[in-house]
Amino acid sequence: SDLQPLAGVRVLLTAGPTREPLDPVRYLGNRSSGRMGYALAAALTDLGARVVLVSGPSALAPPAVAELVKVETALEMHAAVTARTRDCDIFVATAAVADYRPAEPAGSKIKKAADALEIRLVRNPDILAEVAALPTPPFTLGFAAETDDVEQYARGKLKDKRLDMIAANRVGGDSGGFERDENALLVLWNGGQRVLPMMSKVELARELAMLLAEHYAERHAA
Ligand code: PMT
């Protein structure tokens, strides 16, 4: 219906940061609060979708969704997503996944000794790129968090990762993105774009969810 354009559609959505352990008490993390992803999970549920939310650690109360899967590391998020991609129609990657993890997390607390400490990092799998490269991929909406040249980098990610849509935001400094209640997005797809100006993440999520529903419907009408 017009009110529930995503009725019966299965959405898999990642949100929040990941934590990459250095030792049993410390981790490498990032500033994602989970706010944008949680708002999007709620907005998609309101449009009728059956949402599976795979979330990294967040202090926020999760929205009511069909299924909530809590993870901590990028590898755990990767495993949770991989196990569920066959049963989804749309994949949304809102999470700020660590690109690297400590190569060998220490088994016990790292002691203070030398003046400098070197930690070797290794690449994490790119969850979104893997999903988009499946033989029959779901409809994919990625995010891009950039400090500079937002449009250019986002176009690159749309093309290189072969996504259906990408929502780009400026991060760092006072420009929104991480942590704050408000954000602005530049949404790109092959052949078009839409600017969603600075507004609350709840309103922004509603706009983005409707745009996603339109494009998903077009794909399935074709
Ligand atoms: O949580 P909030 O505080 O509300 O902040 C929201 C947000 C700024 C985190 C969000 O709007 C956002 O931009 N999320 C994506 C952050 C990010 O990691 O972007 P990226 O440009 O590094 O990654 C590009 C895309 O690939 C993203 O869809 C990301 O989920 C995905 N990715 C990245 C690396 C990786 N190993 N696996 C992935 O799936």
**CATH number of 10-98+122-221, picked from 3.30.300.20, 3.40.50.300, 3.40.50.10300, 2.60.120.340:** 3.40.50.10300
Please tell me the distance between residue 1's alpha carbon and the centre of ligand 1 in angstroms.
31
Secondary element (H or E) of residue 192: strand 192-200
Stretches in the chain below the pLDDT threshold 70: 173-176, 222
Residue set of the binding site for CTP = 99, 109, 125-128, 143, 157, 161
Angle at 111 between CA 56 and CA 21, to 5 degrees: 15
pLDDT for 80-108, tens place per residue? Answer: 999 999 999 999 999 999 999 999 999 99
- Note the pLDDT tens digit of each residue in 110-125: 998 889 999 999 999 9
Amino acid at the residue 76: E
Looking from the CA of residue 161, the nearest atom of ligand 1 is 26
Compute CA distances 207 → 109, 147, 179, whole Å.
46, 23, 20
- Which ligand 1 atom lies nearest to the CA of residue 98? 36
Q: Domain limits of the chain?
A: 10-98+122-221
The residue whose CA has the least distance to atom 25 of ligand 1 is 143
Q: What is the pTM of this model?
A: 0.97
Catalytic residues: 30
Give this complex's ipTM: 0.99
pLDDT at position 175 is: 67
